[in-house]
């Protein structure tokens, strides 16, 4: 069967699309055009996916058709004179597809790549969407923007839709494509790496044609397809594909993979092409100055606009010439045919001397469709003599010229569409008034251009920008002095961006090479500990087992568990549970006050005389209960470890042996108790401390930069200063020191290593929403636009383009973050919001975290009570009853089950929770933890398309 397919379109859920881009309107226009198979587009958008699933039903394998339609609704989408009853809507088939915009950084350059995913069924679509929803926002645009490497997107598609296929979209578009001059690659392998072999088709785009692409031998193995990429139904079929094969998803994919069968039968038989000059990025140019340049003119002007001097946008023709290695196109003997066409409304508009969307043209268009059944039938198949007989001699002449390629070209550039004409102005002037077209008088119009030829150019390897970051394993003189110092105690004052972690790791590795005694590194976050651990492990010759890298709490808890291996940590919720049990007569506010007193006593264990005897007594009772049940309060970990260290017990000796050499990162963030721990360890350890008093940000947790200077008085270390900032340019460094210039923290001699020019902008906004809109506009400008629409609104020739991962937004309040987040979401810009609370402790992720603890038998009573509170019929009084039993439990679930046997109202909840735990454990054992926890989503009816997942 011969049929025409348009495999790249967009729905009404994409930005800048027609409201008519819904299934009924799309099917009707496909029938008008003569298209049999149409991509759905945009299946990643939840709203469009719902529309698809509600309005499509299975047809041939992997293809779908309209479930039903309303002719009155469809009539609103059509030109006057075309009636839905005359269209073969039941014959139109749909294939599930979606375009993804990936914006990311690779090999030191921002990449903006568009790719199309094709899926054989809705289950595959849902698996793809589930994975992508955890990466970016799928709801703001039918073509979502993801900060995802195109290679990784392909890997996801292969795994989630093994029967589907993947096509790089409009591969030459300057801004958003595989080979684009602004943000693409020079070779497909650079983009897709080891997965390149999984790609067998490339979409050429409107601004290139097969002739141009076949000048590049590296593309010989790929099938070149053409699609409309339309944003309104009337634009369907601007480009399309011709197949001669059975109707099915698999047959369509196989025809693209192997255009000629083993028996020699051509199954992918041709493409319908836009004249590439009509594409809006064909030639080079600068839209604002109305300058259009051929590639040789651009090279003579050194890439600059001859009017304003700014860089021009390099077009597709130029880019193809850069990569071409042939002077002329080379086709295989069975290559698909190429049909270069002009859309019928444009032909009619030229003949009638009016715009292609005018009522005059639409009347003639409707007459042509009713006469010749479809647009492609008229343009491709109807004999010229029949067109003359049933339409007009002038239309017949126009179609004849088009089929022969006798056209006049004025190329598009820098976002401006080109113009293709069939008659010059003089011809139409002579013919005006002498001929009629479907009863309409012929008028006149304009203009000419010669087609540019393609010849290969010497390829230039682009120079990479010199990195301004400090090279791995390279030290500047001050860092070298720190690393090689022989002093026992060293204090390094290192400003922002001066290489604190780099220097600390270099010092550690240097000392380990000289003397591999056990060493310990203190950090203030688990993330920092992991980073240092990774850096140390990458250094050859270092005995990693002898280096203990942890937070201060992690280090102390490790050795406290040497004394009591069953020790578990009590957090704020568990502390309140113990206090309610110990002091049931106290009000909630009184218990909160007592909890504050406990925190103060743990932080200042020597200040008992400043607290009332009653509070001291209550604190002792709390500590005794916690100790008896093998718990330790989170805030008691460091004071208990310090007490153990001072007692010189065997475990204290083990602690000292491990810290023969002690390294402390971010030393300015120590509080008084942590500083006392360091001093105690210094009795038997050498100390290397590095930090910056100006970066002390944990004052709300008791940190105080004065301990930085107390260290100098107490241990008389050798003091060093690192003063070269490798992170920021001079303007940022200067501005930062204006802000902190009055801080009483000593000498600041930070200088910027980078000589790059930079500016700081101060924007005054009228409201928080204006501020959010300004931030969105700036991000659009920094990344060079996230869509063609935004790029065409920006100034041509923007120089510095960043990836989304290069950009951060700092805010002071959560309310600001909410408003900015909404603005980014609405624009379809992917972002991650970071807060003080870990994401897994926030809704809707928290139940997953708690059930992971339950299933692993690591849940505390408070974790279990939180889950119990979610159960229907479980109120405050019931929770209090359960709390009485569970407060001291090491196995809360089993204790709860025993309690439920005696209390009928808990029995059903007990059964549900036990069954869920057993189910999670069983599935996790067979299929993995993720599969086990998926049952939690179903249990609580949490959508797996939630972005947090």
Q: What is the pLDDT of residues 340-390, one digit of tens each?
A: 999 999 999 999 989 998 999 999 999 999 999 999 999 999 999 999 999
Q: How confident is residue 124, by pLDDT bands cut at 50, 70 and 90?
A: very high
Residues 622 and 653 in one domain: no
The whole-number average pLDDT for the span 450-472 is: 41
Q: Give the single-character DSSP code of 464.
A: P
| pLDDT score, position 469 | 40
Inform me whether the pLDDT recorded for 760 exceeds 50.
yes
Predicted pLDDT at 833: 80
Contact assessment for residue 420 and residue 291, using Cβ atoms and an 8 Å cutoff: no
Identify which of 518, 560, 568, 521 has the alpha carbon closest to the alpha carbon of residue 543: 518
The answer to whether the Cα torsion of 935, 938, 941, 946 is positive or negative is positive
**pLDDT reported for residue 396:** 94
* Predicted local distance difference test score (pLDDT) of residue 453: 42
Tokens 């759905």 correspond to 40
**Nearest residue to 143 via CA among 26, 17, 51, 27:** 17
In which residue are the tokens 């590049």 written?
A: 216
The pLDDT, as a whole number, for residue 445 is 46
- In the predicted model, what is the mean pLDDT of the chain? 86
Model confidence at 873: pLDDT above 80: no
Residues 383, 237 share a domain:
no
Percent of the chain with pLDDT over 70: 88
Q: Using alpha carbons only, what angle is made at residue 7 by residues 229 and 364, rounded to the nearest 5 degrees?
A: 65
Quick one: average pLDDT of 772-790? 77
For 563-633, list the strands marked E by DSSP.
568-570, 631-633
> Left (φ > 0), alpha (ψ -120 to 50) or beta: where does 367 sit?
alpha
- In whole angstroms, what is the distance from residue 765 CA to residue 773 CA? 10
In angstroms, how far is the first alpha carbon of the chain from the final one? Answer: 44
CB 154 within 8 A of CB 194: no
Q: Work out the pLDDT band at 464, boundaries 50, 70, 90.
A: very low
Whether residue 778 sits in one domain with residue 747: no
Counting the structural domains of the chain, the total is: 6
| 8-state DSSP, 797 | T
Q: What is the pLDDT of residue 704?
A: 83
**Residue 634 resides in a domain:** no
Only one residue has tokens 């990195």, namely 467
Bridge-based pairing of strands 240-244 and 268-274 is antiparallel
Query: Higher model confidence: residue 814 or residue 634?
Result: 634
In a domain, 713, yes or no: yes
Q: Which domain holds residue 808?
A: 768-827
Please list the residues that pair with 2 across neighbouring strands: 244
CA distance 454 to 15: 35
For the segment 244-261, the average pLDDT, to the nearest whole number, is: 97
Confidence of residue 452 (pLDDT cuts 50, 70, 90): very low
Average pLDDT over residues 190-200: 97
Buried b (16+ CB within 10 A) or exposed e, 116-131: bbbbbbbebbbbbbbb
In the chain, how long is the greatest CA-to-CA distance?
112
Q: Of the ranges 171-180, 660-669, 692-701, which one carries the lowest mean pLDDT score?
A: 692-701
Q: What is the pLDDT of residue 798?
A: 47
pTM of the model: 0.64
Residue 421 — pLDDT band, cuts 50, 70, 90?
very high
Region of poorest pLDDT, from 140-154, 491-505, 825-839, 900-914: 900-914
Residue 700 has a pLDDT of: 66
Specify whether 201 is located in the same domain as 85: yes
Are 208 and 247 part of one and the same domain? yes
Least confident of 35-44, 101-110, 334-343: 101-110
pLDDT confidence band for 161 (50 / 70 / 90): very high
**What mean pLDDT do residues 108-125 have?**
95
pLDDT of residue 439: 53
Phi-psi region of 630 (alpha: psi -120 to 50; beta: other; left: phi over 0): left
Pairing of strands 165-168, 223-225: unpaired
Q: Are 271 and 225 in contact (CB under 8 A)?
A: yes
Virtual CA dihedral for 336, 337, 343, 346, nearest 10 degrees?
Answer: 140
Confidence of residue 406 (pLDDT cuts 50, 70, 90): very high
Q: How far is CA 879 from the centre of its chain?
A: 42
Q: Which of 602, 629, 656 is the last residue of a domain?
A: 629
Residue 865 lies in a domain: yes
**Same structural domain, 549 and 652:** yes
Q: What are 823's two structure tokens?
A: 């603005």
- Same structural domain, 559 and 573: no
Cα separation, 461 vs 162, in Å, equals 37
Lowest mean pLDDT among 115-119, 334-338, 507-511, 905-909: 905-909
The answer to whether residue 945 is domain-embedded is no
Asked whether residue 948 is domain-assigned, the answer is: no
In the structure encoding, which two tokens stand for residue 86, read together? 């005359």
Residue 523 has a pLDDT of: 93
The first and second tokens of residue 596, run together, are 């504050």
**Residue 62 lies inside a defined structural domain of this protein:** yes
Structure confidence at residue 756 (pLDDT): 76
Tell me the CATH number at 137.
Answer: 3.20.20.140
Tell me whether the omega of the peptide bond preceding residue 447 falls within 30 degrees of 0, making it cis: yes
User: Of the residues 803, 827, 851, which one is the last residue of a structural domain?
Assistant: 827
Are residues 850 and 823 both part of a single domain?
Answer: no
Q: Which range is least confidently modeled, 522-536, 577-591, 826-840?
A: 826-840
> 949 vs 595, which has greater pLDDT?
595
Q: What is the pLDDT of residue 98?
A: 98
Nearest to 829 by CA among 168, 8, 11, 15: 15
Residues 508 and 437 in one domain: no
pLDDT, position 450? 43
Q: Same structural domain for residues 557 and 579?
A: no
Q: What is the pLDDT of residue 341?
A: 95
Q: In this structure, are 9 and 100 located in the same domain?
A: yes
Whether residue 715 is predicted with pLDDT greater than 60 in this model: the reply is: yes
**Does residue 479 lie within any of the structural domains?**
no
Mean pLDDT in residue range 89-105: 96
Shared domain for 844 and 795, answered yes or no, is no
Residue 476 pLDDT exceeds 60: yes
* pLDDT (0 to 100) of residue 788: 54
- Counted residue by residue, the chain has a size of 949
**pLDDT (0 to 100) of residue 58:** 98
Task: Give the closest residue to 142 by CA, choosing from 21, 308, 33.
Answer: 21
Cβ atoms of 11 and 17 within 8 Å: the answer is: yes
Of residues 662, 750, 665, 667, the one with CA closest to residue 708: 667
Q: Given a cut of 60, is residue 755 above it in pLDDT?
A: yes
Give how far the C-alpha of residue 840 lies from the chain's centroid of Cα atoms, to the nearest Å. Answer: 20
Pairing of strands 661-664, 519-523: parallel
Angle between helices 500-514 and 477-484 (to 10 degrees): 40
Is residue 551 included in any domain, yes or no? yes
Q: Backbone phi, then psi, for 542, in 5-degree steps?
A: -95, 130
pLDDT at residue 546 tops 50: yes
């Amino acid at each position: 069967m011969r049929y025409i397919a348009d495999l790249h379109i967009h729905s009404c859920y994409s930005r800048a699309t027609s409201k008519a881009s819904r299934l009924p309107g799309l099917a009707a226009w496909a029938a008008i055009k003569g298209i049999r198979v149409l991509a759905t587009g945009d299946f990643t958008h939840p709203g469009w996916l719902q529309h698809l699933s509600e309005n499509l039903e299975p047809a041939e394998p992997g293809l779908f058709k309209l479930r039903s339609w309303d002719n009155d609704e469809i009539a609103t989408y059509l030109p006057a004179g075309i009636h839905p009853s005359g269209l073969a809507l039941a014959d139109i088939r749909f294939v599930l597809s979606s375009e993804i915009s990936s914006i990311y950084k690779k090999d030191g350059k921002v990449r903006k790549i568009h790719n199309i995913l094709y899926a054989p069924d809705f289950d595959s679509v849902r698996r793809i969407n589930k994975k992508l929803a955890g990466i970016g926002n799928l709801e703001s645009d039918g073509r979502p923007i993801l900060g995802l490497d195109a290679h990784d997107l392909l890997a996801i598609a292969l795994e989630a839709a093994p029967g589907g296929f993947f096509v790089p979209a409009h591969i030459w578009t300057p801004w958003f494509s595989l080979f684009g001059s602004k943000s693409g690659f020079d070779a497909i392998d650079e983009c897709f790496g080891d997965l390149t072999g999984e790609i067998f088709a490339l979409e050429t785009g409107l601004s290139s044609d097969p002739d141009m692409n076949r000048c590049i031998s590296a593309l010989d193995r790929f099938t070149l397809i053409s699609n409309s990429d339309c944003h309104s139904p009337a634009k369907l079929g601007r480009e399309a594909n011709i197949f001669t094969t059975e109707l099915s998803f698999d047959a369509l994919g196989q025809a693209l993979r192997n255009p000629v069968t083993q028996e020699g039968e051509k199954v992918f038989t041709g493409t319908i092409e836009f004249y590439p000059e009509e594409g809006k990025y064909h030639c080079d140019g600068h839209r604002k100055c109305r300058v259009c340049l051929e590639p040789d003119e651009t090279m003579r002007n050194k890439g600059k606009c001859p009017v304003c001097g700014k860089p021009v946008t390099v077009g597709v023709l130029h880019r193809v010439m850069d990569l071409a290695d042939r002077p002329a196109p080379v086709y295989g003997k069975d290559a698909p045919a190429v049909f270069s066409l002009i859309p019928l409304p444009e032909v009619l508009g030229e003949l009638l001397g009016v715009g292609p969307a005018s009522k005059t043209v639409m009347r003639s268009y409707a007459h042509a469709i009713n006469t010749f059944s479809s647009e492609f039938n008229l343009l491709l198949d109807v004999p010229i003599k029949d067109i003359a007989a049933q339409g007009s001699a002038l239309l017949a002449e126009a179609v004849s010229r088009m089929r022969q390629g006798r056209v006049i070209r004025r190329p598009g550039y820098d976002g401006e569409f080109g113009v293709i004409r069939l008659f010059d102005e003089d011809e139409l002037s002579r013919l005006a008034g002498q001929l009629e077209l479907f009863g309409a008088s012929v008028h006149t119009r304009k203009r000419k251009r010669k087609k540019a030829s393609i010849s290969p150019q010497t390829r230039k390897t682009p120079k990479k920008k010199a990195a301004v970051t400090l090279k791995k394993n390279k030290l500047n003189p001050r860092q070298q002095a720190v690393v090689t110092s022989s002093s026992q105690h060293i204090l390094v004052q290192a400003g922002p961006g001066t290489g604190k972690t780099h220097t600390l790791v270099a010092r550690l590795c240097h000392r380990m090479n000289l003397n591999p005694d056990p060493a310990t590194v203190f950090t203030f976050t688990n993330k920092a500990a992991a980073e240092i651990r990774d850096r140390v492990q990458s250094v050859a010759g270092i005995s990693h087992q002898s280096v203990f890298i942890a937070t201060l709490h992690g280090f102390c808890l490790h050795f406290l568990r040497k004394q009591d291996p069953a020790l578990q940590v009590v957090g704020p919720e568990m502390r309140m549970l113990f206090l309610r049990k110990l002091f049931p007569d106290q009000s909630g506010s009184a218990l909160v006050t007592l909890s504050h007193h406990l925190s103060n006593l743990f932080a200042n264990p020597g200040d008992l005389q400043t607290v009332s005897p009653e509070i001291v007594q209550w604190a002792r009772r709390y500590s005794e209960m916690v100790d008896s049940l093998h718990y330790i309060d989170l805030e008691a970990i460091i004071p208990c470890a310090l007490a153990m260290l001072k007692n010189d017990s065997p475990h204290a000796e083990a602690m000292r042996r491990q810290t023969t050499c002690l390294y402390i990162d971010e030393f300015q963030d120590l509080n008084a108790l942590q500083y006392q721990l360091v001093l105690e360890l210094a009795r038997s350890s050498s100390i290397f401390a590095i930090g910056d008093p100006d970066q002390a940000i944990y004052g709300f947790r008791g940190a105080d930069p004065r301990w930085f200077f107390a260290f100098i008085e107490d241990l008389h270390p050798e003091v060093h200063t690192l003063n070269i900032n490798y992170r920021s340019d001079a303007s940022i460094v200067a501005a930062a020191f204006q802000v902190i210039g009055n801080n009483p923290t000593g000498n600041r001699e930070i200088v910027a290593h980078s000589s790059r020019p930079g500016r700081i902008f101060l924007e005054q906004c009228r409201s928080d929403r204006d501020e959010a809109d300004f931030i969105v506009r700036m991000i659009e400008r920094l990344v060079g636009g996230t869509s063609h629409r935004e790029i065409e609104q920006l100034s041509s020739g923007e120089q510095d383009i960043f990836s989304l991962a290069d950009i951060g937004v700092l805010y002071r309040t959560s309310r600001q973050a909410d408003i900015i987040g909404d603005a980014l979401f609405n624009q379809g810009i992917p972002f991650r919001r970071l807060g003080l609370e870990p994401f897994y402790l926030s809704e809707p992720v928290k139940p997953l975290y708690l059930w992971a603890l339950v299933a692993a038998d690591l849940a505390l009573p408070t974790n279990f009570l939180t889950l119990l509170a979610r159960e229907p019929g479980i109120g405050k009084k019931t929770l209090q009853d359960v709390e009485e039993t569970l407060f001291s439990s090491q196995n809360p679930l089993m204790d709860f089950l025993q309690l439920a046997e005696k209390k009928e109202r808990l029995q059903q909840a007990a059964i549900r929770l036990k069954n869920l735990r057993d189910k999670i454990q069983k599935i996790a054992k067979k299929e993995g933890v993720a599969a086990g926890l998926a049952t939690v989503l179903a249990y609580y009816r949490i959508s797996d398309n939630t972005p947090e997942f």
